Amino acid sequence: MAGKLSLKSVLVAAYTFGLSQVGAFPAAASVEGVSELGSPYSNLQSRQQSPFIVTGVRDGVTQGQVPVRKDIREMMKNRTEFELFLLALQRFYSLPQSSDLSYYAVSGVHGRPYKAWAAVPNGRGANPNTGYCTHGDLLFLPWHRPYLAIYEQFIWNNAREVVNQFPDSDPRKAAFRTALSGLRIPYWDWASDSSVPAEVGSMKTIEVANPQVAGARQSIANPLYSYKFTDLSELPGAPFNRMPETYRYARIVSGRYESQPTVLNNAMTGIGGSLRNRVYQMLTAQAYKDFNLAGTKVTNHPGQFDDSFEGIHDTIHGTVGGGNIAGHMGQVPYAAFDPIFWLHHTNVDRLFAIWQGINPNSMAFNGFSGSGTFALAPQTAENLDTPLPPFRQSNTAYFSSRSAVRTSTFGYAYPETLASEMGSASPADVMASVNRIYGFRVPAGVLRAAANINRRKRSLDERSTDDNNSQVQSSGRLNDPPAVGALVPVEHKIVDLETENYTEWTANIQVNSGAFNGSFSIHFFLGDSNVTDPALMPTEKSYIGTHSIFANPETANNMLVAGAIPLTSALLNKVVDKQVDSLLPESVVPYLLKNLRAKVTVGARIVDLTSVKDLAIKISAAIVTLPKTIQDAPQWGNFETKVNFIDVPAGKFLPVPATKH
């Protein structure tokens, strides 16, 4: 890092801008203001265990308008904005780990080091062996919203100080000041493009402006590649107590840990089609207008595919944090230290916001916490008004799911939700955005385009029906549907001419989250799989998808959780290849009984399916009606079990056709 910052100036600046410190909870107290700019470091240090109010970034917010969080690839197109983000993150990293204002401390809210942050203590009856984060319950999505907002505040605070470092004589200062006004944290839309940008996954160093020397450039350690620890004493678990920085697909070379960017990128690229199919189903299926179904991976999905936003989220953690040596992202206590965590979770929040835009009156739920958090006891009753510690909205109140329901509360929106957040778009408008981003690369989209082409051939009807996806080519992977051109000759075998119905297939998974005292993954294939390295499984031709269970080995996880892997894209490829005649059960069931494979991996180890606690996999099918217009979602029927693939609790280990009752 070029130049030196005084410890006092770093801490005072980070403390003062955007995060208001308040008196000890619950007594009310006045907000500390700019008069504190002159306070000595020792005074600030002594107040670090006082409460903070989460406000979100207010800069750039005007009447009827808030800045949008951008896809990381979109942010990179504006080099000034991207460099400001990198410099802010670098500066954030430089704060001492002992400070509540540091990247280390804010990341530690999620998991390790399992200690109080901002004067929010271990709750009565709560779990001291975990962080504040909520997993496996309905607070998962709402809790992470103010968490991201407080991270965004710290990023903006540090970005402001970076801009102030530019001398007034530097002509670049005005551009950086403009970028600051609307600066928000970016997201990584792995459902649209699952590959890892080089600026995130493989570039160890990166060139940015040097704000302390007019017109100068500098090469810095890329803050998106890894975070470097200065003290590992609070991170006792092996191998993390020996890792000086965060790693992805770690290996040891000449006695030192290193990441494997190519392995990471290949794995993420391989699961891309499956992620897109899962996200599209979650955003379009009518049953998932119920937040009780959409919000958590805990099993409660009768008659539906057993998926959730949390379950999809788990798979990113499991894939990015995979490898023969565990990476930080794959382990709950350490995941938030990896800078890719924040790109990932911002996208999860975006999908949550899109779901809210499509389902504006559906944010209601009732349930109970699972194993609890650092602040909430196990089996705490949960609803819209359950507090979300450690995030305070005032001197006397935490945020709740109700008070955190709108992103504009925290000063941001997403490109797809800005208009609806401001009240000028309908749910159908948001659905149109979903179809434009994801719909042309999922079965419903390509079949809609193929049906339109065949309909025009039959009727000479030249009216446009938004089938730009007819030009999209297949990736060649099983979990991406075939190109529209390949489907046109066989579309009549798949889609009913009169009803425009077709059959969707999914592998529904239920398993005990504590099966292996930590994270593990379930992989699916159509055909044999000879690869024994889990990192290479997504590159196999027979690979369909992976569902990961993101579990904390240091808490008592003993709950049934669920996930789902869509099979329809793979089966469409088999129809095109003339290995399956249609998507009807009489064609698909015999094929799946013969060809479907599953593997469970724990780290680098493949385990026997029959040994996995409470594992049950059912292959289900549903009748789906194609969307009529760009603003429509497919109409999903109920799923019916067609194949009982495995049921460990029942002692049934071989795939058999489901019997009708």
Q: Is residue 156 part of a domain?
A: yes
- Reported confidence tier of residue 13, pLDDT bands at 50, 70, 90: very low
Instruction: Give the pLDDT confidence score for residue 49 in this predicted structure.
Output: 56
Kindly report which listed range (4-18, 427-441, 471-485, 571-585) carries the lowest average pLDDT score: 4-18
pLDDT tens digit sequence for 29-76: 222 322 222 222 233 333 355 678 999 999 999 988 999 999 999 999
Instruction: Give the pLDDT confidence score for residue 460 in this predicted structure.
Output: 59
Shared-domain flag, residues 128 and 58: yes
Residue 6 has pLDDT above 50, yes or no: no
Shared-domain flag, residues 217 and 187: yes
Contact at 8 Å (CB) between 622 and 503?
Answer: yes
Shared-domain flag, residues 598 and 648: yes
Mean pLDDT of 380-388: 95
Report how many domains make up the chain.
Answer: 2
Kindly report which listed range (7-11, 93-97, 397-401, 558-562) carries the lowest average pLDDT score: 7-11
Which of 430, 458, 475 corresponds to the end of one domain? 430
Which of 412, 430, 448 corresponds to the end of one domain? 430
Shared-domain flag, residues 368 and 510: no
- Reported confidence tier of residue 625, pLDDT bands at 50, 70, 90: very high
For residue 69, the domain's CATH number is 1.10.1280.10
Instruction: Give the pLDDT confidence score for residue 63 in this predicted structure.
Output: 85
- Reported confidence tier of residue 494, pLDDT bands at 50, 70, 90: very high
- Helix orientation angle between 585-595 and 568-576, rounded to the nearest 10 degrees: 100
Q: Is residue 1 part of a domain?
A: no
pLDDT tens digit sequence for 144-169: 999 999 999 999 999 999 999 999 99
The predicted model scores a pTM of: 0.91
The pair of three-digit structure tokens given for residue 532, joined into one six-digit string? 């024994």
Kindly report which listed range (118-122, 524-528, 638-642) carries the lowest average pLDDT score: 118-122
pLDDT top residue among 628 and 470:
628
Shared-domain flag, residues 173 and 269: yes
Instruction: Give the pLDDT confidence score for residue 661 in this predicted structure.
Output: 53
> What's the CA gap between 384 and 144, in Å, rounded?
14
Instruction: Give the pLDDT confidence score for residue 472 in this predicted structure.
Output: 53
Which of 396, 430, 464 corresponds to the end of one domain? 430
Shared-domain flag, residues 340 and 445: no
566 preceded by cis ω (within 30°)? no
Q: Is residue 551 part of a domain?
A: yes
pLDDT top residue among 594 and 39:
594
pLDDT top residue among 566 and 300:
566
Residue 300 has pLDDT above 70, yes or no: no
Instruction: Give the pLDDT confidence score for residue 484 in this predicted structure.
Output: 95
Instruction: Give the pLDDT confidence score for residue 7 in this predicted structure.
Output: 35
Q: Is residue 159 part of a domain?
A: yes
Q: Is residue 75 part of a domain?
A: yes
List the beta bridge partners of residue 599.
Answer: 523
> What's the CA gap between 510 and 549, in Å, rounded?
10
**Whole-number percent of the chain with pLDDT over 90:** 77
- Reported confidence tier of residue 4, pLDDT bands at 50, 70, 90: very low
Backbone angles phi, psi at 164, to 5 degrees: -65, -20
Shared-domain flag, residues 411 and 558: no
Residue 269 has pLDDT above 60, yes or no: yes
Contact at 8 Å (CB) between 312 and 197?
Answer: no
Residue 558 has pLDDT above 90, yes or no: no
Cα separation of the two ends of the chain? 69
- Reported confidence tier of residue 8, pLDDT bands at 50, 70, 90: very low
Residue 355 has pLDDT above 50, yes or no: yes
Of the candidates 535, 151, 550, the one whose C-alpha atom is nearest the C-alpha of residue 333 is 550
Instruction: Give the pLDDT confidence score for residue 324 in this predicted structure.
Output: 85
Mean pLDDT of 190-209: 98
pLDDT tens digit sequence for 445-467: 999 999 999 988 876 544 444 44
Residue 381 has pLDDT above 60, yes or no: yes
Backbone angles phi, psi at 53, to 5 degrees: -100, 130
Number of C-beta neighbours around residue 547 at 10 A:
29
Contact at 8 Å (CB) between 143 and 345?
Answer: no
Q: Is residue 542 part of a domain?
A: yes
> What's the CA gap between 586 and 594, in Å, rounded?
13
pLDDT top residue among 261 and 473:
261
Contact at 8 Å (CB) between 155 and 59?
Answer: no
Q: How far is CA 469 from CA 400, 472, 473, 589, in A?
A: 41, 5, 9, 29
Residue 470 has pLDDT above 80, yes or no: no
Mean pLDDT of 184-197: 99
Q: Read out DSSP for 98-155?
A: TSTTSHHHHHHTTBTB---BTTBPPPTT--TTS-S---SSTTHHHHHHHHHHHHHHHH
What does the mean pLDDT of the chain come to? 89
Range of the domain at 218: 7-430
Mean pLDDT of 648-654: 97
Instruction: Give the pLDDT confidence score for residue 370 in this predicted structure.
Output: 80
pLDDT top residue among 216 and 64:
216
